[in-house]
Amino acid sequence: MLVAHIVKKNPVTVAPSTSLRSVASVMRSRNVGSVLIVGDTGRLMGIFTERDLVRAVSDNVNLDSARVEDYMSKEPIVARPEDSIVSAAHKMVHHGIRHLPVVDDGGRLIGIVSMRDVLRHLLAENEFP
């Protein structure tokens, strides 16, 4: 099965200039562990995760003035819709990540796949007691 079958098409996105306090509030209200940073052209610029927020807090930055672009992971590992779900799982395990943006050939954001999405699919494909 392909990533296209499990991708969530409306991921939470923010602009690169969003303050860390604002992005943390968005993550809490939307109950997500990551947000995708998208530019004006719709191209994926980065990903900001709970880990990035912890790093910023441990740096003792001002959450109102610090911007997501300063702490996001630039050029994140991505998947394509035509990738297999097993390939996506391999990327996640190999790179130690839990969220995988899905982009088209032009780098424009299509959606996101989480480790939970991948596991849910793999477990559904196999029968376990």
Query: What pLDDT does 123 receive?
Result: 84
CA 22 remoteness from chain centre:
17
Query: Which ranges of the chain have pLDDT less than 50?
Result: none
Query: What pLDDT does 39 receive?
Result: 86
Alpha-carbon gap, residue 79 to 73, rounded angstroms: 16
Total domains present in the chain:
1
Query: What pLDDT does 40 receive?
Result: 86
pTM summary value:
0.89
- Taking only Cα atoms into account, the Rg of the chain, rounded to an integer number of angstroms, comes to 15
Query: What pLDDT does 3 receive?
Result: 95
Using the structure block, give the residue that is written with the tokens 């990738």. 83
Q: Give the range of the structural domain holding residue 65, as residue numbers without chain letter.
A: 3-125
CATH number, position 108: 3.10.580.10
Query: What pLDDT does 107 receive?
Result: 87
Q: Could you tell me the two tokens for 93?
A: 């395990």
Query: What pLDDT does 129 receive?
Result: 57
